[in-house]
Amino acid sequence: MKPVITVKNLSKTFRLPGERRGTLRERLMKLHIRNEVSARKTLDGLNFEIMKGEFFGIIGRNGSGKSTLLKILAGIYRPDKGSEITIHGKIAPMLELGVGFNPELTGRENVYLNATILGLTRSQIQERYQDMVRFAELEQFMELQVKHYSSGMSVRLAFAVAMQVDCPIMLLDEVLAVGDFVFAEKCFAHFEKCKREGKTIILVTHDPAAMERFADRAMLIHQSKLHTIGNPHEVLEKYKALG
């Protein structure tokens, strides 16, 4: 098996100014005082590989650095100097569903906008439009402005669009924890299908049940460091032992 993602010595330090000086007045008034900058290491020396076709789970407490890791993999944040990340293949980041949804636009318009952001061409969208609508169970509501949708409806629509993205690597952040039971099952079924197609799926979650059910391998991040990596069951035991 070939690794699709290789991460070597990945660190991420955020510089946190001692106090916020957002406005010009604040800057001018305090020009003579040095603004102490404190650094916070959110990720510290991570090394791991993710193989092709793997369902890779990432678990950890709040603030452990999981989301930062995903954002770095997605290219949103820059890692510190000295970190090495090699990625083979395009990544579909699903850190949040319905990114770029505009409440003023109709469901249909938002599908086109969101799908374009996620990398689909116009003809691909047209081709798959009916599938998306059917999957979201929103046949009668596509010409309605999204601001009139319930939160469940817009999440379903967002997921239906995200599903159509066919990148070889998918990054998912807690997105499974949405929708009712039936819809959640549909989503899981979709991920299993993706996995069978040989896609690599990276999932960040708090849900031990989902982790145990789907992940081939798991990684526990604790206090910015890689704690354990390996069999999901063992990793979950370690996670629970953290207390």
Partner 1 sequence: MSDQLRYSLRLFFTLTWTTFKMRYYGSFLGYIWSLLRPLALFGVLYIVFTFFLKQSAPHYKLFLLLGIILWTFFAEATTLGMNGFIGNYTLIRKVYLPRIILVASAVSSAFLGLFFNLIVFTIFAILDGIHWNLQMLWFIPLLLALYFLVLGIGLILSILVVKIRDTQNLWEVAVQLGFWLTPVMYPMSNVPEKFRFLVFLNPMSGILEYSRYYLVGIGGATNIGYFYVMAISVVLLAAGILVFKWKEGEMVEDL
Where on the chain is the footprint of partner 1 (CB under 8 A)?
14, 22-25, 27, 71, 74-78, 93, 95-96, 99-100, 102, 104-105, 109, 112-113, 116-119, 121-122
Q: What stretches of 147-204 show up as alpha helix (H) in DSSP?
A: 151-163, 181-196
Q: How far is the CB of 93 from partner 1 (least distance, A)?
A: 5
CA distance 176 to 186: 10
Q: Which is nearer to partner 1, 119 or 152 (CB)?
A: 119
Number of Cβ within 10 Å of residue 178's Cβ equals 16
Nearest to 167 by CA among 111, 99, 119, 215: 119
Q: How far is the CB of 174 from partner 1 (least distance, A)?
A: 12
Instruction: Please report how close the Cβ of residue 215 comes to partner 1 at its closest, in angstroms.
Output: 23
For partner 1, the closer CB: 93 or 107: 93
Cβ proximity to partner 1: between 93 and 179 the closer is 93
Gap between the Cα atoms of 198 and 218, Å rounded: 18
- Distance between CA 102 and CA 107 in Å, rounded? 9
Nearer to partner 1, 58 or 74 (CB): 74
Cα 77 from Cα 141, distance rounded (Å): 36
Rounded least distance, CB 120 to partner 1, Å: 9
